[in-house]
Chains A and B, each alone.
Chain A
Amino acid sequence: MTYTLTVRSTVLRDSDGAHIPADLRNADYQAYLVWAYGRAEADALHDKCFGAKGDGNVSPSVAGLSYVNAPAPYVAPPPPAPSCALWQLQAVMTPSQWTAAQAAVAALNNPAVSAFFAHGTNVIPADSKTLLALGEAIGLTADQIAALVTEAAAVAIP
């Protein structure tokens, strides 16, 4: 069993993605405390809360305690791919690129894709497989597509 810290007080259990709150009454948090700090420290925290003269604080601070097993630090997941509306994309592409893209759409001969690209307000993410395929057809790499979409997302009508 391993765990990962989060930006909040909860702990992420890696095996099933469960978020475990810092609550001494929670059996999963009890198991985490034993794993992270050892049985003696876990029992001491429990007694401090529930003992005969316990303070009743079910979420005591663990600052200053030494790890027996250290949880992984919090790492934010990679942000989702940027996205933009088709009209924004057109605004940042050269006329020749846009013409080539339109031709590539037609060449796909896919009614759904054609219908999607017929409406400029439709939003498309940079990691869209269709967009990547169209980019490849007109000589753009995935990184170039992502850069174009990011630039396009900032375009606004004055």
Chain B
Amino acid sequence: MATATQVQRRRGTAAQVAAFTPALGEDVVDTSNNRLVVGDGSTLGGWPHAKIGDINGFVNKFRNGKMDVYQRGSSGTVSAGTTAYTADGWQISATGANAAWGVFYEAFASGLFSLANFLRISCASGLTACTLQQRIESFVASELISTAGAQPITVQWTILNASGGSITPQVRVSYATAQDNFAAVTDELAATNLQTIANGILATVAYTFQPSNYANPQNGYQVQLQFGGQLNAASGSVYVSLADIRLTPGVATGINNNPPPPEQRPTGIELPFCQRYFVSSYSGVAPGTANSASRDLPNIGSATVASGATFWFEPLTMRASPTVVVYSYTGAAGKVSSNSGSDFAANSAASVAASTGVFFYNNSGGTLSGASSFLFNYTASAEL
């Protein structure tokens, strides 16, 4: 190194760089994060470059960020006053009126171009509040904890506003006060306005926030995209996709007009991730749909709880022992059908679940006669 020449670039702390616009072709050094930042002469804060440690996959801690997995069916309705799962991982809360949803593969070219599955939420008269949210498991959310202490986290969605008017959605982030128990949550980021989207425009909304304590994500995060009463209309809808939440060290907090490109994982990767939380024998058809292709459960005719059969989730292991609902061939919950398709009595079959599989057994109190096997479907939910 004796003949080397020491070269130093213009440099500053993360905050200083964030408030500075590097010239076209200029590289400056973010001394807080030991990161090069390239300028284009017009972008405030420039374009930060990844370090070796930043280059990896699975940086997006949302599951099903591009709405590719919808094991509960491709459409449905969330009743007023309830919160229910829609596309995998995503819950909708509806207040004042029902909220209809559906998954659509769309090519939008208004504002920016995107080709992806979108979750559509329909406007409805009287829909005074509507929220889309995801709960992120503790083991996943804890990956938002940086070894360097609390670091900024950026969350984003891409939205097509077809509501008929301008909208300004809000983001709210909370953490569970006990591990994976969201009965009580504490706000990390209170409901905060995102960017405004004009009617007919496809746009990305993003926000960067700083956890108040680096350990907050360890019990699990609840991330909400709130539309408030902006979907209270007789017609129209919004389309949401390309959700992403990740650590973004060095990025300035507040509304982020230049978020990183969302990580979009292949469906073949996303599906087993989603099945850690929910498994359905319906294969994409809404649970309870009559006359769906059913599982065939043999030899539970005798009247003992020891008589049954186990369906393994292999190669999957769910997050926890799941809640199981059995459906008959005709779609009735809590029943099984004979192999001719007629229902037995309510609660005629029951189940005991573990994270690796479900054991179904004869719960009729007697011999289920007239059938050599039984038809049924099931859902297994270990959702948060």
For window 110-165 of B, CB contacts with A under 8 Å fall at none
Measured CA separation A136–B326 after assembly (Å): 37
Stretch at the interface among B13-21, B176-184, B195-203: B176-184
Measured CA separation A46–B138 after assembly (Å): 15
Asked if A28 is at the interface (CB within 8 A of a chain B CB), the reply is yes
* Interface size of B in residues (CB-CB distance below 8 Å): 41
Stretch at the interface among B4-12, B40-48, B231-239, B351-359: B351-359
Contact of A125 among B179, B303, B354, B370 (CB under 8 A): B370
Measured CA separation A10–B334 after assembly (Å): 14
For window 157-214 of B, CB contacts with A under 8 Å fall at 178-183
Measured CA separation A43–B335 after assembly (Å): 34
Closest CB in chain A relative to B40 CB, distance in Å: 47
- Which chain B positions have C-beta within 8 A of A47? 178
Cβ proximity bits B283-313 to A, threshold 8 Å, 1 near / 0 not: 0000000000000000000010100000000
For window 15-51 of A, CB contacts with B under 8 Å fall at 16-23, 25-31, 34, 43, 46-47, 50
Closest CB in chain B relative to A61 CB, distance in Å: 16
Question: A77 and B383: CB pair below 8 A?
Answer: no
Asked if B31 is at the interface (CB within 8 A of a chain A CB), the reply is no
Interface centre among A22, A23, A47, A77 (most CB of B within 10 A): A77
Measured CA separation A6–B362 after assembly (Å): 12
Interface centre among A9, A78, A82, A125 (most CB of B within 10 A): A78
Asked if A83 is at the interface (CB within 8 A of a chain B CB), the reply is yes
Contact of B364 among A12, A29, A50, A77 (CB under 8 A): A77
- Which chain B positions have C-beta within 8 A of A7? 305, 350, 363
Asked if B257 is at the interface (CB within 8 A of a chain A CB), the reply is no
Contact of B354 among A17, A21, A50, A81 (CB under 8 A): A21
Closest CB in chain A relative to B328 CB, distance in Å: 10
- Which chain B positions have C-beta within 8 A of A125? 369-370
Question: B346 and A17: CB pair below 8 A?
Answer: yes
**Given A77-B347, A79-B365: A123 and B323 interface contact (C-beta under 8 Å):** no
Question: B363 and A77: CB pair below 8 A?
Answer: yes
- Which chain B positions have C-beta within 8 A of A9? 352
Asked if B320 is at the interface (CB within 8 A of a chain A CB), the reply is yes
Measured CA separation A108–B350 after assembly (Å): 39
Question: B369 and A6: CB pair below 8 A?
Answer: no
Contact of B325 among A19, A22, A27, A76 (CB under 8 A): A19
Question: A10 and B353: CB pair below 8 A?
Answer: yes
Measured CA separation A16–B305 after assembly (Å): 22
Asked if B67 is at the interface (CB within 8 A of a chain A CB), the reply is no
**Given A19-B351, A23-B320, A46-B181: A80 and B345 interface contact (C-beta under 8 Å):** yes
Question: B183 and A31: CB pair below 8 A?
Answer: yes
Closest CB in chain B relative to A31 CB, distance in Å: 7
Question: B322 and A21: CB pair below 8 A?
Answer: yes
Measured CA separation A10–B320 after assembly (Å): 14
Question: B352 and A23: CB pair below 8 A?
Answer: no
The residue on B at minimum CB distance from A83 is B369
**Given A17-B347, A78-B345: A50 and B178 interface contact (C-beta under 8 Å):** yes
Asked if A53 is at the interface (CB within 8 A of a chain B CB), the reply is no
Closest CB in chain B relative to A71 CB, distance in Å: 14
Question: B353 and A79: CB pair below 8 A?
Answer: no
**Given A46-B181, A50-B178: A80 and B383 interface contact (C-beta under 8 Å):** no
- Which chain A positions have C-beta within 8 A of B320? 23, 25-26, 58
**Given A19-B353, A30-B181, A76-B363: A25 and B324 interface contact (C-beta under 8 Å):** no
Question: B369 and A80: CB pair below 8 A?
Answer: yes
Asked if B35 is at the interface (CB within 8 A of a chain A CB), the reply is no
Q: List 30 A-B contacts (CB under 8 A).
A: A6-B350, A7-B305, A13-B323, A16-B334, A17-B333, A17-B334, A17-B346, A17-B347, A18-B323, A20-B323, A21-B352, A22-B321, A25-B180, A26-B322, A29-B323, A50-B178, A58-B321, A76-B363, A76-B365, A77-B345, A78-B365, A79-B303, A79-B366, A80-B344, A80-B366, A80-B368, A83-B370, A123-B369, A123-B370, A125-B369
List of 10 A-B pairs having minimum Cβ-Cβ separation, nearest first = A79-B366, A17-B334, A25-B320, A76-B365, A21-B321, A23-B321, A17-B333, A28-B323, A83-B369, A18-B325
Chain B interface (Cβ within 8 Å of chain A)?
178-183, 303, 305, 319-326, 333-335, 344-348, 350-354, 363-370, 381-384
Chain A interface (Cβ within 8 Å of chain B)?
6-10, 12-13, 16-23, 25-31, 34, 43, 46-47, 50, 58, 76-83, 123, 125
